[in-house]
Amino acid sequence: MKDLSPLSTINSPLSKGPLWTKSFAFALRIVNLAKHLQNEKREFVLSKQVLRSGTAIGALVREAEHAQSKADFISKMSIALKEANETDYWLDLLHQSGYLNDDGYQSIHPDVEELLKLLVSIVKTSKANEK
């Protein structure tokens, strides 16, 4: 697989770690889901919501790589956690409204749950270590 990161030489604890790779892979899945919803289901409002929140997670993780302080890092990770929670909401809504079938939901939902768990752990640990 091609190295997609221009940051691969940076010695950040997030670079190429589990959260970094999982949030990027999740963003790709969300982009494909949004394309499917728009092209196949002709759904444009909810698809843009899930696209925005689902891709923001990885973007915030990348921003946190270069946080200016511990407080900035915690802030970025906390916002990423909020975006993951919002994405979970949109996925539930898409599923319950029939835009996302059971197979699609059961395929993508564990990914957002895993991101939520990772982000909760990082935020809690970072806040505990800040004191």
In a domain, 5, yes or no: no
Give the count of beta carbons closer than 10 Å to the beta carbon of residue 131.
4
Under 8 Å CB-to-CB from 104, ≥6 apart: which residues?
33, 95
Structure tokens belonging to residue 115: 């991101």
In a domain, 3, yes or no: no
The pLDDT mean for the chain works out to 91
In a domain, 93, yes or no: yes
Span 82-128, pLDDT tens digits: 999 999 999 999 999 999 999 999 999 999 999 999 999 999 999 99
Structurally, how many domains does the chain consist of? 1
How far is residue 47's CA from residue 33's CA, in Å, rounded to a whole number? 8
In a domain, 55, yes or no: yes
Give the structural domain span for 74. 18-126
In a domain, 53, yes or no: yes
Span 15-26, pLDDT tens digits: 679 999 999 999
Region of 4 on the Ramachandran plot (φ > 0 left; ψ -120 to 50 alpha; else beta): alpha
> Looking up tokens 């319950």, which residue turns up?
96
Q: Tell me the CATH number at 38.
A: 1.20.1440.60
> Looking up tokens 């939520």, which residue turns up?
116
| Full-model pTM | 0.88
Burial of 52 (0-12, 13-18, 19+ CB in 10 A): middle
How far is residue 88's CA from residue 86's CA, in Å, rounded to a whole number? 5
